[in-house]
Amino acid sequence: MLASLVFASCKKEELGADIDTKAAMQEIMEAARAAAGEDVFIPVTIDGEVSKENCENKLGLTPEQFEEYAMDAYYMQAGIGTQAFEVVLAKCKDYASAKEAKSLAAKGYDPKKLICALPEQCFAIESGRFLFIGFLYDNTAEIFLNAFKAQFETEAGETNKFYERGDEEPEEGGLGGLLIPG
């Protein structure tokens, strides 16, 4: 009986290992666009692969943390610089790595990285071995959270909303909250 429990536990950790991360990100985008309908604007996006060179900007992880916890990761961001929109999907080495990367990302991610486009919220959530980060306006955040949660066979963890835009003053010389809401 113990052997079957150990085997089941190991097998559980393997769920998602064979999923193509880039294709999963595309499916999340398609599901979110369908759910948004015509009422919510989701910008035209460009996509790219997260690497050791851009992982701090895209995931809030240092290159060493990225190498330790992630297998691969992809992002989609607004094709124009004035829209606060970026989502990132990382496939982690196992479930524990996804939970740890979620915690580290919330501490290391810079929600004010774009001077001309502040998000209304930033969040991190994991499901199995996958980590999802959102840099979004409030009206798209729930849409993307639901699209992410529906994507995988595993139950999603709690959402860590690590940034909410308040009435903070814009940074010296920056445009702060001057943007066109989506």
pTM listed for this prediction = 0.84
Buried b (16+ CB within 10 A) or exposed e, 118-128: bbbbbbbbbbb
**3-state SS assignment for residue 113:** coil
> What angle separates helix 21-36 from helix 138-151, to the nearest 10 degrees?
130
pLDDT tens for each residue of the chain, 182 residues long? 434 433 444 455 566 678 999 999 999 999 999 999 888 989 999 999 999 999 999 999 999 999 999 999 999 999 876 789 999 999 999 999 999 999 999 999 999 998 788 999 999 999 999 999 999 999 999 999 999 999 998 899 999 999 999 855 545 444 444 433 33
What number of other Cβ atoms are within 10 A of residue 165's Cβ? 17
In whole angstroms, what is the distance from residue 146 CA to residue 88 CA? 15
The Cα angle at residue 125 between residues 101 and 120, in degrees rounded to 5: 110
